[in-house]
């Protein structure tokens, strides 16, 4: 059904966004700690 396809697509987009956000925040935290350690 269109609703099922929409729900599945929405879940995939949310998972993708969450993964990107997690990677970005982890990367930012690592850079921040590296900069703090360097100075």
Rounded mean pLDDT of the chain?
86
Q: Report pLDDT digits (tens) over 2-16.
A: 999 999 999 999 999
Span 15-35, mean pLDDT? Answer: 85
In angstroms, rounded to a whole number, what is the distance separating the alpha carbons of residues 17 and 13? Answer: 6
Span 7-36, mean pLDDT? Answer: 87
Rounded-to-10 torsion of CA 25, 19, 21, 31: 20
pLDDT band at 23 (very low <50, low <70, confident <90, very high): confident
Does 34 have pLDDT greater than 80? Answer: no
Cβ count near 11 (within 10 Å)? 10
Span 12-31, mean pLDDT? Answer: 88
């Amino acid at each position: 059904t269109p609703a099922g396809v929409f729900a599945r697509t929405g879940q995939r987009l949310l998972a993708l966004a969450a993964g990107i956000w997690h990677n970005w925040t982890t990367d930012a935290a690592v850079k921040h700690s590296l900069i703090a350690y360097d100075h």
